Every structure is written in structure tokens, then in C-alpha cells.
Chains A and B, each alone.
Chain A
Amino acid sequence: MKQQAMVKVRLDEAELQSRRAFFEIRDEDLRRLASLRAFADKYTHEVVEDLYILILGHADSAKLFVDHALVDRVKRAQREYFLGLFSGRCDFAYAEDRLRIGFAHERAGIPPKWYLGAYSRYMRSIFDRLLAELKDVNETRLAYQSAEKLVAFDMALAMDAYIAAQLQTVARHRAAIQELSTPVIRIYERVLLLPLVGTIDTQRAEQLMEAVLGKVVEEQAKVIIIDIAGVAIVDTKVAEHLLKTTEAVRLLGAQTILSGISPTIAKTVVHLGVDTSSMHTRSQLSEGLELAFDLVGREVTPSQGKRGSSGNARVGNAQR
């Protein structure tokens, strides 16, 4: 999980140094914060309690923290976070830690607005207590600025983690949709069917071809029927994609039947001058089915003696 976090947010040593530079986090900032460790130890509990008065006092955010055990766990994590600000470190391990917090928030469904609001609350808590502790305005200013820089750095990482996690969810959904929209079905022994519906753009066509080829080998299918009756537009590109797929299926040792060729499609394809001589084509899916059965050595015959059942058929061995 840790390694994964780093790759997803593209955080390598160079990136880390670049961020430290941009957020102007210097060694003296880290030293200053480390020197305030005792201060942190003293006020950690209060600061976190303050934060939770805000969160639990606000109707919308309180909804996320109904469970007492959860609240305790989160408070503990927040105390650790707070102390971490005064560790004097801003290295790879520190960044990794902050990233993990971001991923945890995303997983728990806590939206950015809550934890950005929380960071803001922290800063105000820190300022008040720093002033009370250090008394000197200039020293307080310096200490506050060092803390603010580091908190901003942390916020950036938390946001990056959040966005990366969301993007991954989108990618997963997209993959699922693609799979659903390309159902290659085994309708009979060694016979596959792919009913195409909608528009076929290049990306979908590529993905279709791969799904078809994979399924043909997996099922050792001799025939695949691709029905295009539901395809919105059949232009040169679509025709070319279908041809490529047919050729690839042939290379595997199987055959393709293209069914659902409407008069419109037939006219378009011929006018386009696309060479379809290598393909089996039919206008109706049912005709495609019959041809498919024939190619696998079966034939469709009417079944005997069924009352009021026109069009019932039985599939049996072809008479050769």
C-alpha cells in the first residue's frame, strides 16, 4: 500500500525537493518547529479537542462521526498528526505519511471541505497558543510561519492523494462500463455472439477486437457472429474496424459472420468500395445463426409434434 501511494501521486525524491522549495520549507523552519516539541506535547490534546468541538458542533460534519470508537480513533490520529508537525522532518517518510492520511480520508468518504476547514482551525489554534507560550510577537510570527508552511505542504499532499484516489475510481468505472458494453456471449458450443449497439469509435473498436480475440481463444470458438443491426453509423472507419477484426479472428483460426446488414448499410459499404469478399455476411441475425450452426457441423430442423408452436426448431447433427 505504501509503495502504491507513492507511485500514484508520482512522488519521487526530485519531486519532494521541488515541493519543499516551492513551499519555502527551509532547514531553519524545521529546526524551529523541532525546538517547539515541548510546546506541542503540552497542547496536543487541547488543540485536537478544539478541532472536534468544531466538527461535532457542525450538523453536516457531525454526521460522519456518529460512532464513538471512530471518533476516538480519529482523535488519536489527529494528535499524532499534530505532533508530526514538530518532528523537525520533511523527508520522504514524512511525505509518505501525509499521503496515507489523504488516502484514508478519501476512503472514509470525508470531502476536502472538511479537512481543509480543519487545517484552518489548526492554524488558528496554534497561533493563539504560540502567542500565549512565546509571548514575543516576532518569535510567534516566525514559529507560526514555519508551521503554516508545513501545513500547506501537507494539504497539497492530502489533495493529491484525494484526487489520485478519485481518478482511480473513475478509471475502474470506465473499465466496468467498457466490459458491459462489449458482451461477447457464448451462445452455443464453439459459437460466440457479439451484439453491437450504439456508436463505434476508434477506442471502442480497439477494445472490441481485443475482447473478441480473447474470447475466441478462451472458448476455442470456431465462429463468432457480430450483429451490427444496432450500430448507429456504419462509415468507412467502422467498416475498416470490422474488417480488421475479421482478419484477426481468421488468423486465430476462426471465422466471423457479420449479420444485421440493413439495406442502408449495404448501400453505404458498397459505395465506399470496402472489400468484404473475405467476410460472411447476412441481413438477419437468424440467418447468421443458421450459417454459424452449419459451420460447426450442426443444422436447425423443425421439431416434431408440438401443437401451436410455429417456428420451433431443434439443433442437431448436420446430415453430411
Chain B
Amino acid sequence: MIQMAARVLSHHEMPIESEDDVFLVRRKARTLAEQRGFDPFSMAALTTATSELGRNAFLHAGGGAVILEELQDGDLVGIRLQFRDHGPGIADVERVMQGGYSTLKSLGLGLSGSRRLVNEFHIETAVGQGTLITITKWKRL
């Protein structure tokens, strides 16, 4: 049985350097999901997670960029977003996500909230190296 990796059907890169950019990224994610026939609940989840992470990148990390991709894996269609920021990085991700830092409350909420809204959530971060967050939302069969 040949194991096939998810195929990338489309690839879009967008900057996140302003509030307007976050809005545009959100709209793009929504449009992609709508075109692929995602149900309203999944669309709202994806758009909201996109908004949270986009806003985080802009507000807490001074900006960055996002790559949006449409994926196909057998019967499944999905949308993947990779948020990369050139910020200071996060020292203790788990603690932040559990609300352990009062000053980073909204960052933590945005991260933990987003994680619950998508099917796949990966975060790579280190102090001084910025952050890369990858989320994937699959369309329900």
C-alpha cells in the first residue's frame, strides 16, 4: 500500500504587517474554505483561529507573514496556514497557553483558543528566533 502525503493544491503567501493585513488574511482563509464547501461551523472556526493567530503575530511579535495552502489527502480536503513571525519567540509555550503569564494573557488565549478550533496545531518557537505556528482544518466528509 503506497502511503501518499497530502498534496498541495494551491499556495498563497501574505504579509502580516498591519491590522489591515490580518483582515485580508482572514478574508482569504474564509474565501478558500467557502470555495471548498466547508460547513459554516468549520468556516467560523478556521476564520477565528486565523484572526487570533494573525493578530498575535502582529501585536505580540511585530509582524510576520502567513502561507495559506489548500491540501488534498485522499478523500480529504483541507486548508493549512503557517504563521511565521519575526518576534522575540516564546520561552515557555505551555505555560503561556495555560494562562500562566498575566501580561501575555491575550497571547495565551489566542494560542490555546485556536488550538481547540483546528484539527492540527504545531508550534515551533525559541527565544530570539521568532515563532512558526502551523494549523490545519479539514473539511468534514
Contact = CB atoms under 8 A, between A and B. Distances in A.
Interface of A: 7-8, 10, 12, 14-15, 164, 167-168, 171, 174-175, 210
Contact of B9 (A12, A167, A168): A12
B141 interface: yes
A168 B141 CA distance: 8
A8 B7 contact: no
Given A164-B75, A167-B75, A15 B141 contact: no
Contacts of B72: 7, 10
8 contacts: A7-B72, A7-B77, A10-B72, A10-B74, A12-B9, A164-B75, A167-B75, A171-B75
Interface in B95-115: none
A15 B75 contact: no
Please provide the 10 A-B residue pairs with the shortest distance between their CB atoms, ordered closest to farther. Answer: A171-B141, A10-B72, A210-B41, A167-B75, A10-B7, A10-B74, A164-B75, A12-B7, A15-B7, A12-B9
A20 to B, nearest CB: 15
Given A7-B72, A10-B7, 14 more contacts: A7-B77, A10-B72, A10-B74, A12-B7, A12-B9, A14-B7, A15-B7, A164-B75, A167-B75, A171-B75, A171-B141, A174-B141, A175-B141, A210-B41
Interface in B105-140: none
Contacts of A168: 75
Nearest to A206: B41
B34 to A, nearest CB: 16
Interface residues of B, number: 8
Contacts of B75: 8, 164, 167-168, 171
A14 B4 CA distance: 13
Nearest to B75: A167
Interface string B65-80: 0000000101101000
A210 B77 CA distance: 21
A8 B77 CA distance: 10
Interface in B41-99: 41, 72, 74-75, 77
Nearest to B41: A210
Contacts of A8: 75
Contacts of A175: 141
A10 B5 CA distance: 12
A9 to B, nearest CB: 9
A169 B129 CA distance: 48
Nearest to B6: A10
Contacts of A7: 72, 77
A34 B54 CA distance: 55
Nearest to B77: A7
A164 B72 CA distance: 14
Interface string B1-45: 000000101000000000000000000000000000000010000
Contacts of B77: 7
Nearest to B9: A12
A262 B115 CA distance: 35
A210 B45 CA distance: 12
Contacts of B74: 10
A10 to B, nearest CB: 5
Nearest to B76: A10
A118 B141 CA distance: 33
Contacts of A14: 7
A15 B72 CA distance: 12
Nearest to A160: B74
B141 to A, nearest CB: 4
A10 B72 CA distance: 7
A174 B77 CA distance: 18
B43 to A, nearest CB: 12
Contacts of A15: 7
Nearest to B39: A210
Contacts of A12: 7, 9
